[in-house]
Amino acid sequence: MCRHLGWLGAPRSVASLMLDPPYGLLVQSYAPRRQKHGLMNADGWGVGFFSPDTPEGAPPCRWRSAAPLWGDASFASVAPALRSGCVVGAVRSASIGMPIEPTASAPFTDGSWLLSHNGLVDRAVLPLSAHAESTVDSALLAALIFDRGMDLLGDTVSEVAARDPQARLNILAANGSELVATTWGDTLSVLRTGDGVVLASEPYDDDQGWEEIPDRHLVHTDGDAVHMTALKGPA
């Protein structure tokens, strides 16, 4: 399993989202509070963001590692200077038998979207893809979602769940102007702030504004309104 977070709104530093909160991804890498599967997330981390300085049409910026987030002093020193209005960050707990390598850490990208998968799925039910960044289940799932299109995210999650009833399919994706997510087998919470929206596997602080999103839902936000739709699938 993993923990992930997405921000869409006014520009914020990456450190303020991942490192500074009292229960942020840094703490969740060694002491998550709501993780249902696994005890820590020490098998890598990643962050992706859309920079206002990036030329139009250029892919989002990414920084990924196979090391624990708590041990990366270089990232800790640079993260306060990285600012964006759209960020996706994740810390990873590798499933048994899966490789531990930077390319296995979310977020994955197709050049337009950033995508993180919090969960587990049998690779046998996923098609092989030359676009997959790694052989891990999350990378294959990301490639399938990208190939089918983000407009079909809910349908894709439901269809994969039908092929693998034990799958856990919490997806978080962003393209610079939208955040979309699914809940399927694990936790996700939303925080509406005065200048944007946070979607996170678990709250990164004790703000009373956090709301838990029900399981088996599709979530969409443009940084202001948040819309939720129930997903259909096997019982």
Residue among 1, 2, 141, 150 flagged as catalytic: 2
> Per-residue confidence at 235, pLDDT binned at 50, 70, 90?
low
In this predicted structure, which of 96-100, 144-148, 216-220, 229-233 has the lowest mean pLDDT? 96-100
The DSSP secondary-structure symbol of 92 reads E
Span 38-59, mean pLDDT? 87
| pLDDT, tens digit (0-9, with 9 covering 90-100), for 149-182 | 999 999 999 999 999 999 999 999 999 999 999 9
Task: Tell me if the bond preceding 60 is cis, omega within 30° of 0.
Answer: no
Q: Write the DSSP symbol of residue 15.
A: H
Dist CA 168 CA 173 (whole Å):
16
Residue 43: phi and psi, rounded to 5, are -100, 25
Closest CA relative to residue 184, chosen from 222, 141, 136, 231: 231
Question: Hunting for tokens 């799932």 — which residue is that?
Answer: 141
Share of the chain above pLDDT 70, in %: 99
Q: What is the pLDDT of residue 95?
A: 83
Q: Is 2 a catalytic residue?
A: yes
- Mean pLDDT, to the nearest integer, of 189-212? 97
- Report field, pTM of the whole predicted structure over 0.85: yes
15-19, 38-42, 117-121: least confidently modelled range: 38-42
Contact 120, 170 (CB under 8 A): no
Q: What is the pLDDT of residue 57?
A: 76
Q: Give the class (CATH, top level) of 2-230.
A: alpha beta
- The residue among 47, 38, 54, 99 whose CA lies nearest residue 69 is 47
User: Any idea where the domains of the chain sit in the sequence?
Assistant: 2-230
| E strands, the chain, in order | 2-13, 45-49, 61-65, 83-92, 108-109, 114-120, 168-174, 179-183, 189-193, 196-200, 211-212, 217-221, 226-230
Residues of the chain above pLDDT 90, percent:
88
For the chain, what is the mean pLDDT?
Answer: 95
Of 82, 4, 90, residue with least CA distance to 47: 90
Mean pLDDT throughout 130-154?
A: 97
Residue 197 has pLDDT above 90, yes or no: yes
